[in-house]
Chain A
Amino acid sequence: MNNFSYFLKEGIANLFTNRMVTFMTVLTVIVSLLVTGVFQVISTNLVHISGELGNNFEFNIFIKDSVMEEDLEDVAQQLLSIAMVKDAVLKSKSETFREFKEKIGNDSLLQGITEEDNPFRNCYVVTLTSLENADYVLEEITLLDAVDSVSNNLETSKKLAAVEKKVNLYSIIVYVLLALLCLSIISNIINVSIFSRRKHINIMKYVGATNGFVRTPFIIEGVIVGITGAILSSGILAYGYYLIYGNFNQVLEGIYLLSPGIVFTELLITNLIYGGLIGGIGAAFAVGKHLKV
C-alpha cells in the first residue's frame, strides 16, 4: 500500500514535470485514436447497414391467379415450413392495387378496374433468417405449386454479404496495424521523457530497486495519458458524428445510421481499452530499454 501511493504520486508528478512530453503524447494518442475511431465508426455502421439490409432483404413471391383467396393461408404455412424462411407476409392484389393507385394519383387511367378485379397478383413478401444458401431456399420456393414466380435481387444480397465479411476482416487488420504503429510512436515519445529521467532510473537501480518498482510509475503515467487521449478523442469523434448524423442519417429507405449515443458508448469503451493498453505497454517498452544497469 505504501508503494502504491508512491507509484501513483510519482506517476502523476511525472505528467506535470514533463508537460511538453505529456502534451505531445496525449496529442499522439488523440490523433491515433481519431484514425482508428473514424474507422470504427465507419465499420460499425457498415456492419450495421449490411446487417439491416440482410435482415430486411425481401423476396416477392408471386402467387398463381388460380390459387383461391381461402387457400392463401395454406401457402403461407408452406412457405414458413421451408428452412430459413423467417417470415412471409401477404400483400394481396387489392392492397397492391391501392398502393399503385395512390402512387400514380390519377384515377382516369384506372377506370373500370376494381380492387377485386385488377391485373396485380397476390404476393407473399418473404424474409430469410440469413442470406447464406438463399439460392436453395428460393429454388425450393419456386417448386411450390402455388408459386408463379419469384422476384429477387439475390446478386445484390450476395454482394452485401461479401462486403460485410470484408469490412470485418479489414477492420481487424487496420486495428492491428494501427495498434502497432501507435505503440511505436507512443513508445518513442515516452522514451524522450524517460531519457530525461534516466539519471533517476540509474540511481534507483543502484540502490537496489527492482525493475517492477522502476517501471510501475511510468506505466501508470502511460495509462493516464492513454485514457486522457481516449476520452478526448472519443468526445471529438462523437461530436463530429453527431453533426453528420443531424444532417444525414438515412442511408437508404428505411435504413438509418447508428444513433450517436450507441456510437459514443462503443467508441469510448474501445478507445479506453485501446488507449490505456497502448499508453501502458508503450511506457513499459520505453522504460525497458533503460533498465539494463
Chain B
Amino acid sequence: MLQFKNVTKIYENTNVTALDDITLDIQKGEFVFLVGHSGAGKSTLIKLITAEERPTSGEIIINDINVTELTAKEIPYYRRTLGMVFQDFRLLDNKTVMENVGFAMQVVGATRRQMRRRVPDVLSRVGLSQKARFLPNELSGGEQQRVAIARALANNPNLIIADEPTGNLDPDTSKEIMAYLEEINRSGTTVIVATHDKDIVNSMHKRVIAVDGGNIIRDDERGGYSDHE
C-alpha cells in the first residue's frame, strides 16, 4: 500500500541530504511508528508521503498511485485519500467541532446531505458527539486532537498519517489518543505515527521504523523505542 523505492531527498537550497536511498514497504492495515530525533528525516518522509515535497530520486507509490509523478493539479485529489493529524491540531478556531469536520468534506465537494450523515458518525467514533457545537477553544487539548482525528476520518481515507499527534498532550491523554488511532487501525485503515514518545512506542508493540541521518537504521515488526534513537 505504501512503497518507497530508493528514495533520496536532497534539499536544493541547503544541499542537505534529508533522506538517503530509502526503501520501505508498508502493507495495507499496518500500524507503524516512525521514530528518530529531530532532523533525522521523519518530517521529510512525511512530507514526501503528503506530496508536499518531491524526492530528488527514487519512486514513491501509495494506494497504487505513483506520487512521484503527480502533477500539481492532481495533488489535491491524491491528498483526499489521506487523513492528516498534526501536533498542533490545526483546527479552524472560528468553526465549531461539527463545522471543522464538515469542512474537510465540503472542500472535496460533498453535499450537505452526505455531510449530515457522515459528520455525526465520525464524531461518535472519537467520542465527541456531545461536543459537536463547541468551538475548539472550549475543548481540552486531547479533545481538540480527537476533532482533528475525526476530520482526518471524514473523507474515509485508507491511510492516516499522524505527525507527533501527542506532542502537546499529557501522558494520559496521549494514551487515549493512541487508543483512538489503534481503534481506527483495527477497522482496516493503515496508520503511520511519527513520534518522539518513548512510552507510547514501548507500550504498544507495533512495527517501529527508526530513521537517523536520512537512513532507516532499524525496522522491527514488534519493536520498542531504543535509547540510541
Residues of A within 8 A of B (CB): 2-3, 6, 17, 199-200, 202-211, 213, 293
Tell me the complex Cα distance, A209–B92, Å.
Answer: 15
Q: A2-B111, A2-B112, A3-B109 are in contact. Are A206 and B90 (CB under 8 A)?
A: yes
Q: Which residues of chain B have C-beta atoms less than 8 A from A293's C-beta?
A: 52
Does B144 have its Cβ within 8 Å of any Cβ on chain A? no
A202 to B107, Cβ gap below 8 A?
no
B92 to A208, Cβ gap below 8 A?
no
Q: Choose from A6, A199, A203, A211 the contact partner of B76 (Cβ within 8 Å).
A: A211
Q: Which residues of chain A have C-beta atoms less than 8 A from B50's C-beta?
A: 206
Q: Choose from A2, A202, A211 the contact partner of B90 (Cβ within 8 Å).
A: A202
Does B151 have its Cβ within 8 Å of any Cβ on chain A? yes
CB-based nearest B residue for A293: B52
A208 to B52, Cβ gap below 8 A?
no
Q: A2-B111, A293-B52 are in contact. Are A208 and B79 (CB under 8 A)?
A: yes
Does B166 have its Cβ within 8 Å of any Cβ on chain A? no
B141-158 contacts to A (CB < 8 Å): 151, 154-155
Tell me the complex Cα distance, A205–B109, Å.
Answer: 14
Does B103 have its Cβ within 8 Å of any Cβ on chain A? yes
Nearest-neighbour CB distance to chain A for B106, whole angstroms, equals 6
8 contacts between A and B (CB under 8 A): A2-B109, A202-B90, A206-B79, A207-B79, A207-B80, A207-B84, A207-B108, A210-B73
Nearest-neighbour CB distance to chain B for A206, whole angstroms, equals 5
Nearest-neighbour CB distance to chain B for A89, whole angstroms, equals 69
Q: A6-B106, A293-B52 are in contact. Are A200 and B92 (CB under 8 A)?
A: yes
B92 to A203, Cβ gap below 8 A?
yes
Nearest-neighbour CB distance to chain B for A266, whole angstroms, equals 41
Count of chain B residues with a beta carbon within 8 Å of a chain A beta carbon = 26
10 additional A-B pairs beyond A205-B79, A213-B76, beta carbons within 8 Å, are A199-B90, A200-B92, A207-B107, A208-B76, A208-B80, A208-B82, A208-B108, A209-B76, A210-B73, A210-B76
B82-113 contacts to A (CB < 8 Å): 82, 84, 90-92, 94, 103-104, 106-109, 111-112
Tell me the complex Cα distance, A208–B112, Å.
Answer: 18
CB-based nearest B residue for A209: B107
B77 to A208, Cβ gap below 8 A?
yes
Tell me the complex Cα distance, A199–B72, Å.
Answer: 20
Tell me the complex Cα distance, A210–B106, Å.
Answer: 12
Q: Which residues of chain A have C-beta atoms less than 8 A from B106's C-beta?
A: 6
Tell me the complex Cα distance, A206–B151, Å.
Answer: 11
Tell me the complex Cα distance, A210–B77, Å.
Answer: 8
Q: A199-B90, A208-B76, A208-B79 are in contact. Are A213 and B107 (CB under 8 A)?
A: yes
Tell me the complex Cα distance, A6–B115, Å.
Answer: 14
Tell me the complex Cα distance, A162–B112, Å.
Answer: 64
Nearest-neighbour CB distance to chain B for A281, whole angstroms, equals 20
Q: Which residues of chain A have C-beta atoms less than 8 A from B103's C-beta?
A: 203, 207
Tell me the complex Cα distance, A293–B76, Å.
Answer: 10
B109 to A206, Cβ gap below 8 A?
no
B104 to A207, Cβ gap below 8 A?
yes
Tell me the complex Cα distance, A31–B103, Å.
Answer: 37
B84 to A206, Cβ gap below 8 A?
yes
Q: Which residues of chain A have C-beta atoms less than 8 A from B82's C-beta?
A: 208
Tell me the complex Cα distance, A203–B104, Å.
Answer: 9
B90 to A208, Cβ gap below 8 A?
no
